Amino acid sequence: MPFRRGFILLLLALLWSPTAMAEKIAVFPIEDLSQGPNGVDFALTEYLEKDLDARGLEVASQEAVISFMARNRIRWLGFLNTYHILQVRKELGADLILLGTVSQRSEEPSAAFGMVLYLIRTDDARTVWSQARGLSCNDIRHVLGIAEPRSAEDLWPIAVQDILENWPKDMGLNRDQDAVSEIAEVDLGRRYVSSGKKVTCNLRLRSIEEGDRPEVTLRVRGKGHLRMKHKGGNLYQASWTASATEGSYPVSLILYRPSGKHKVAFLGIYHVDNSPPVLALGIRGLRLHGAVAFRDRILIIPRLLEQEPVSRWGFSVQDEQGKTIVHERREGNLPKCFVWQGRTDDGVRVDDGNYQIVIKVWDQAQNMAVVSERLALMHNPPDMVLEAKTRGQGLVLDIRNKGRVPIAFWHMEIWDDDGNLIKTAEGETLPAEVDVALPESTVECVLTAKDILGNQFRKEIKDLKLLVSQENVEGTATEEWSMEF
Amino acid sequence: MYLPWANSVSLRLVLSLTLLCLAACGPKVPDLVKYASLPDERICRIAVLPFVNETDYPLADTIAYRVFMAELVQTGRFDLAQEGDVREAFRHMRIWPGQQPRIEQIKILGDRLRVGLIITGTVVEMAEVPMAGAVNPVIALSLRIVDPGSGETLWHTYHRRDGEHYRKVMHFGILNTATSLADQVYREVLDLWFKKGLKGCAD
């Protein structure tokens, strides 16, 4: 019977064919780290394919492998994930995958080559064999130096053969396959929420066979089981309101298969947080009359008394009328310090006076904390008063500070018209009196002072007698002074 | 026939060789610190997280990682989570390259990858020092075995070697490439771990 003869011939042909029962292997392009991240060595890949073919394995064509990579958007070399490994089995029919990495390749001072190969079984996505080999020309020395390798090009075939000598005999193929359901993407939204806010979980599963679509459920602490809505394709979504109680809330995924099997996977944790951050300010300055006084700049150090992630912050300065003159807000962590140089947002220097700084901080759950502090900007020089009175044959100079800022020190010099220093006086407190003999000729008086904020005062009186004749003449601060010595 | 000079030369040669061997046989055991006990049960499935590169050597983290994975597979004692799965979990959890996951993230990784142990690694030093027409590779590694249940480090190992360390006689024994040195270093680390009580599926 021709039909029976044909069937027997076909069976014999299958039995005789060396590749009919051969394991199929997909050799992925070999990654070459010596060329930088994602470098590739096609020559080495082709060499491996030919060698494995010669060993009786059925090798998937390089075009098929490259096409698979393009189809599955695999943009890296040297590794695969479980889903792609299973897809290789499904799309390319391969039992095995060979991945490899050239770990080093150099020519100077002595040529060297290193590589690693991995063999992955596709039915359970398990790496079943691996070898690493490093070779240098110094490792291979022949008698009289004949046929010694001299470059990396000479070395890599030797390294590959060394590795393939240990090719495994049994790779345990054709065992029971444990189907793995893979999560492609999961997004639990914000990790920190306040009570009553909406929490949304978006999930994308790997491709699902028709008829094997699972029922997708979330298990959330305090909420029980929530069935996820199918949003088309492999997308699922579930939303719920955050509990009233603060704490950590784990979320797990349960996939119920039509077969009755189910699988649980832990997705993550979100935190319910209703407490605002506890914020304190450290300000380096002198406290005067209930405000922190400063002359040209002030350093403000915000400090979270209980460490927690900050989502955003705001910094503002208000004048005495409550008008905001500086305002800045940013996303992310608080800076280590703020420095205010007594200027508006436009860079205009503001007048002496009281100001209010306000710092607002929001945690990840958008709970807000506010701290503020009163500042006193004082960059005018000390407001000094110098009066002279006659007392017997001499003069008494009365020095006083009319300003709000205490004096750090004062210094007075009296010079005759020949340029001789006839009197000096100094001190750290005011008011003070200085006795001077009534001069016969013209004498000059120079008074300098500095307040505790660093503002400086300097006044020159060309003739002290004029001061006497006027009696109680005040030295005005605006005539001669300088901010710096 | 009695040849006193010959005996003396032979004796010196033997002594020299013995000294050379002794010099090459320095302490080879990596430093192991046990912070807590490993789980009593045998561990079948483990994950190795991408290594951190603290060196100037380009891609030292990837090289060291791949060689370590190869050495672990060769032991035949574990089912290793695929590098692609680990990197995908990192991406989902927004852990960027060069970052080590936090304790909370370690727990999630352990669950997602379904592993009994997690290994993390840092390449502290990797260099190829030129010397007389050759290079002397140097590697220093810090490896941690982490419990994915608690996120805590159970064991910590530091190991540093250079290729010259393995010199036996003349140039024999020297390891001339970073790859072969890394392979050797990992073999020593894993030998020590197994000796100290790490149990795989096949044990």
For the segment A421-445, the average pLDDT, to the nearest whole number, is 84
Is there a domain that residue A141 lies in? yes
For the segment A441-445, the average pLDDT, to the nearest whole number, is 83
Distance of CA A100 to the CA centre of its chain: 33
Residue of B177, B181, B186, B187 to mutate, interface with A, max A Cβ within 10 Å: B177
Q: Say if the Cβ atoms of B108 and A36 lie within 8 Å.
A: no
Residues A25 and A130 occupy one common structural domain: yes
Q: Give the A window 29-88 contacts with B, CB below 8 Å.
A: 33, 36-37, 78-82, 84-85
For the segment B123-138, the average pLDDT, to the nearest whole number, is 87
Q: Report the distance separating Cα A141 and Cα A363, nearest Å.
A: 66
pLDDT score for B144: 96
pLDDT of residue B26 exceeding 50: no
Residues A88 and A133 occupy one common structural domain: yes
Q: Say if the Cβ atoms of A85 and B82 lie within 8 Å.
A: yes
Is there a domain that residue A354 lies in? yes
Confidence of residue B146 (pLDDT cuts 50, 70, 90): very high
C-alpha distance from A89 to closest chain B C-alpha (Å)? 16
CATH number of the domain that A203 lies in?
2.60.40.1930
Residues A154 and A21 occupy one common structural domain: yes
Could you tell me the domains of chain B?
Answer: 28-196 (3.40.50.10610)
pLDDT score for A208: 65
* CA dihedral of residues A66, A83, A260, A219 (deg, nearest 10): -140
Domain count, chain A: 4
Residues A247 and A301 occupy one common structural domain: no
Residues A124 and A157 occupy one common structural domain: yes
Is there a domain that residue A188 lies in? yes
Residues in chain A within 8 Å Cβ distance of B63: 33, 101, 103-104, 114
Residue of B49, B57, B67 to mutate, interface with A, max A Cβ within 10 Å: B67
Q: Report the distance separating Cα A84 and Cα B69, nearest Å.
A: 19
Lowest-confidence segment of A395-404, B162-171, B191-200 by average pLDDT? B162-171
Helix (H, G, I), strand (E, B) or coil at A171: coil
Residue of B180, B181, B184 to mutate, interface with A, max A Cβ within 10 Å: B180
Torsion sign over Cα A43, A47, A48, A53: positive
Is there a domain that residue A256 lies in? yes
Pairwise pLDDT comparison (A413 vs A209), residue with the higher score: A413
Is there a domain that residue A348 lies in? yes
Pairwise pLDDT comparison (A345 vs A484), residue with the higher score: A345
Average pLDDT, chain B: 83
Pairwise pLDDT comparison (B2 vs A395), residue with the higher score: A395
pLDDT score for A177: 37
pLDDT score for A478: 35
Q: Could you tell me which of A90, A73, A86, A153 has the C-alpha nearest to residue A120?
A: A86
Residue ending a domain, choose from A248, A272, A296: A272
pLDDT score for A141: 66
Helix H or strand E encompassing A45: helix A42-54
Is there a domain that residue A169 lies in? no
Burial class (CB within 10 angstroms; exposed 0-12, middle 13-18, buried 19+) of A72: middle
Residues A19 and A155 occupy one common structural domain: yes
Pairing type for strands A126-136 and A112-121 reads antiparallel
pLDDT score for A209: 66
Nearest CA in chain A to B178: A134
Pairing type for strands A30-32 and A96-106 reads parallel
Counting one residue from A and one from B, how many pairs have CB atoms under 8 Å apart? 133
pLDDT score for A469: 54
C-alpha distance from B99 to closest chain A C-alpha (Å)? 18
**Residues A212-246: tens digit of each pLDDT:** 778 889 988 777 889 999 988 889 999 999 999 88
Residue ending a domain, choose from A272, A295, A330: A272
User: Measured between CB atoms, which of B82, B107, B177 is closest to A135?
Assistant: B177
pLDDT score for A472: 44
pLDDT score for A178: 36
Confidence of residue B172 (pLDDT cuts 50, 70, 90): low
pLDDT score for A5: 47
Q: Give the A window 401-440 contacts with B, CB below 8 Å.
A: none
pLDDT of residue A102 exceeding 90: yes
pLDDT of residue A6 exceeding 50: no
Residues in chain B within 8 Å Cβ distance of A139: 176-177
Is there a domain that residue A176 lies in? no
pLDDT of residue B40 exceeding 50: yes
* CA dihedral of residues B92, B95, B101, B102 (deg, nearest 10): -80
**Residues B82-123: tens digit of each pLDDT:** 999 999 999 888 888 888 899 989 999 998 898 999 999 999
Confidence of residue B9 (pLDDT cuts 50, 70, 90): very low
For the segment A71-85, the average pLDDT, to the nearest whole number, is 92
User: Measured between CB atoms, which of B70, B84, B175 is closest to A132?
Assistant: B70
pLDDT of residue B3 exceeding 50: no
Pairwise pLDDT comparison (A190 vs A273), residue with the higher score: A273
C-alpha distance from A338 to closest chain B C-alpha (Å)? 29
Q: Report the distance separating Cα A23 and Cα A48, nearest Å.
A: 15
Check if A121 contacts B (Cβ < 8 Å): no
Residue ending a domain, choose from A318, A348, A377: A377
Q: Could you tell me which of A225, A275, A220, A226 has the C-alpha nearest to residue A248?
A: A220
Confidence of residue A474 (pLDDT cuts 50, 70, 90): very low
Lowest-confidence segment of A41-45, A192-196, A428-432, A437-441 by average pLDDT? A437-441
Q: Report the distance separating Cα A69 and Cα A31, nearest Å.
A: 14
Residue of B49, B51, B63, B161 to mutate, interface with A, max A Cβ within 10 Å: B63
For the segment A125-144, the average pLDDT, to the nearest whole number, is 82
Asked if residue A405 lies in contact with residue A378, where contact means CB atoms within 8 angstroms, the answer is: yes
Is there a domain that residue A289 lies in? yes
**Residues A320-370: tens digit of each pLDDT:** 999 999 999 999 888 889 999 999 988 898 998 999 999 999 998 899 999
Q: Could you tell me which of A186, A190, A197 has the C-alpha nearest to residue A228?
A: A186
Q: Say if the Cβ atoms of B180 and A135 lie within 8 Å.
A: yes
C-alpha distance from A130 to closest chain B C-alpha (Å)? 5
Q: Report the distance separating Cα B67 and Cα B47, nearest Å.
A: 15
pLDDT of residue A7 exceeding 60: no
Residues in chain A within 8 Å Cβ distance of B66: 78, 101, 103, 116, 132
pTM for the structure as a whole: 0.55
Residues in chain A within 8 Å Cβ distance of B170: none
Pairwise pLDDT comparison (A423 vs A29), residue with the higher score: A29
Q: Could you tell me which of A369, A371, A377 has the C-alpha nearest to residue A343?
A: A377
Confidence of residue B69 (pLDDT cuts 50, 70, 90): very high
Q: Say if the Cβ atoms of B179 and A103 lie within 8 Å.
A: yes
Residues A32 and A142 occupy one common structural domain: yes
Pairwise pLDDT comparison (A485 vs B9), residue with the higher score: B9
Name the token pair of A467: 């001061």
Name the token pair of A195: 């009570």
Cα separations (Å) of A179 from A124, A209, A310, B201?
Answer: 8, 12, 42, 21
Domain housing A194: 183-272
Asked if residue A448 lies in contact with residue A484, where contact means CB atoms within 8 angstroms, the answer is: no
pLDDT score for A285: 78
Name the token pair of A147: 């046929």
pLDDT of residue B168 exceeding 70: no
Pairing type for strands A432-437 and A394-401 reads antiparallel
Check if A129 contacts B (Cβ < 8 Å): yes
Residues in chain B within 8 Å Cβ distance of A267: 108
Q: Could you tell me which of A136, A131, A141 has the C-alpha nearest to residue A165?
A: A131
> Residue A143: CB partners within 8 Å, gap ≥ 6?
none
Neighbours of A460 (CB within 10 A): 14
Q: Report the distance separating Cα A340 and Cα A347, nearest Å.
A: 11
Q: Amino acid letter at A204? A: R
Residues A311 and A356 occupy one common structural domain: yes
Residues A266 and A283 occupy one common structural domain: no
Q: Could you tell me which of A281, A295, A284, A315 has the C-alpha nearest to residue A376?
A: A295
Percentage of residues in chain A having pLDDT higher than 70: 86
For the segment B37-61, the average pLDDT, to the nearest whole number, is 90
Residues A221 and A248 occupy one common structural domain: yes
Residues A92 and A24 occupy one common structural domain: yes
Pairwise pLDDT comparison (B19 vs A111), residue with the higher score: A111
Confidence of residue B4 (pLDDT cuts 50, 70, 90): very low
Residues in chain A within 8 Å Cβ distance of B123: none
Pairwise pLDDT comparison (B15 vs A24), residue with the higher score: A24
ipTM above 0.90, yes or no: no
Cα separations (Å) of A433 from A102, A191, A382, A426, A446?
Answer: 89, 69, 18, 10, 15
Nearest CA in chain B to A128: B73
CATH number of the domain that A23 lies in?
3.40.50.10610
Q: Amino acid letter at A221? A: R
Pairing type for strands A215-220 and A247-256 reads antiparallel
**Residues A297-321: tens digit of each pLDDT:** 899 999 998 878 888 999 999 999 9
Residue of A38, A83, A101, A170 to mutate, interface with B, max B Cβ within 10 Å: A101
Q: Could you tell me which of A207, A404, A375, A360 has the C-alpha nearest to residue A287?
A: A375
Nearest CA in chain B to A183: B112
Q: Report the distance separating Cα B175 and Cα B164, nearest Å.
A: 7
Residues A254 and A320 occupy one common structural domain: no
Pairwise pLDDT comparison (A475 vs B35), residue with the higher score: B35
Distance of CA B140 to the CA centre of its chain: 9
